[in-house]
Amino acid sequence: MTLSTAAAPGNPLGGGSLPTQIHELLEEAIIAGDLAPGSRLRADEIAAHYGVSRIPVREAFSALAEAGWVDSRPRYGVYVRGRSRDELAELFEARAGLEQEIARLAASRRSDADLARMDGVVERSRRAVEARNTSGLTDAAIEFNAALRDAGKNAVLTGLSLNLEKRARFYFSPVADLLGEEWITGQERLLGLLRAGDENGSAASARRHIEETGRAVAGLLDSAAFTS
């Protein structure tokens, strides 16, 4: 089990409720693949790692189970959930429709500052690919999506998109280094359409990008990229 060491023992995060903070740390570790699917989460080990009692850890486990990140098996323990080909297909199908609408709105509502922000993200993506910096590439992809949501200026769609993106990262984070070039191509293509104010083109481009990513991840799902 690999956990973040950014939080000092005895003071996991430095603010907010302990169960919430531990939940967020464990959730991110699951999404990033630091806690692999099928691995068992032991409350005593996690409590010792963060210098807390087992009570907030158990509360965090309950929240993780409710959110679908872990399976709680009576008498057997708590295990990180596995990846599902069916969920992958449904997830990217849902994201394609949602991101399509966000991009449509962004094409008519984006500001020069929004475009400049996305330009900067594309450049960071390119540098991350050249440096083979997988975490930097993933961070840039998240930032590009955030900039697109901000340009769309719809809080309801933003909330839905954030939830689906988090679930999608569980699938694409392990293979981000294999998808980087495709991501840059998709970002550049969409950015050009946003700059031109092309609503239909932007919508179609965003949908295409999500669908291409979903197909690429599906093609790698049973490969060593997810198990090594």
| 72 and 103 belong to one structural domain | no
| 117 and 36 belong to one structural domain | no
CATH code, domain carrying 139:
1.20.120.530
**154: phi then psi, degrees, rounded to nearest 5:** -140, 105
82 or 1, greater pLDDT:
82
Show the tokens assigned to 203: 């919508």
CATH code, domain carrying 32:
1.10.10.10
Report DSSP state, residue 81.
P
**Residues above pLDDT 70, as percent of the chain:** 92
The pLDDT-based confidence of 228 (bands split at 50, 70, 90) is low
Q: Does any domain span residue 53?
A: yes
Please tell me the predicted confidence (pLDDT) of residue 7: 47
Q: pTM of the full predicted structure?
A: 0.85
3 state DSSP class of 41: strand
Question: Taking every pair of C-alpha atoms in the chain, what is the biggest distance, in angstroms?
Answer: 59
Q: Does any domain span residue 13?
A: no
How many Cα atoms sit within 13 Å of 135 on the Cβ side? 6
| 114 and 220 belong to one structural domain | yes
Q: b vs e for 104-127, b when ≥16 Cβ sit within 10 Å of the residue's Cβ?
A: bbbbebbeeebbebbeebbebbbe
| 74 and 186 belong to one structural domain | no
Please tell me the predicted confidence (pLDDT) of residue 224: 76
Domain count along the chain: 2
> Strand runs (DSSP E) across 88-223, as ranges?
none
Please tell me the predicted confidence (pLDDT) of residue 13: 53
Report DSSP state, residue 157.
H
| 46 and 153 belong to one structural domain | no
46, amino acid identity: I
| 102 and 200 belong to one structural domain | yes
3 state DSSP class of 40: strand
Residue pLDDT, tens place only, 83-137:
999 999 999 999 999 999 999 999 999 999 999 999 999 999 999 988 988 888 8
Report DSSP state, residue 174.
G
**83: phi then psi, degrees, rounded to nearest 5:** -90, 145
Cβ atoms < 10 Å from Cβ of 89: 13
Show the tokens assigned to 199: 């609503």
Q: Calculate Rg over the CA atoms of the chain.
A: 19
Cβ atoms < 10 Å from Cβ of 138: 22
218, amino acid identity: A
Expressed as residue numbers, the domain containing 152 is: 85-226
| 160 and 187 belong to one structural domain | yes
| 64 and 101 belong to one structural domain | no
Residue pLDDT, tens place only, 3-46:
654 444 444 455 668 999 999 999 999 998 899 999 999 999 99
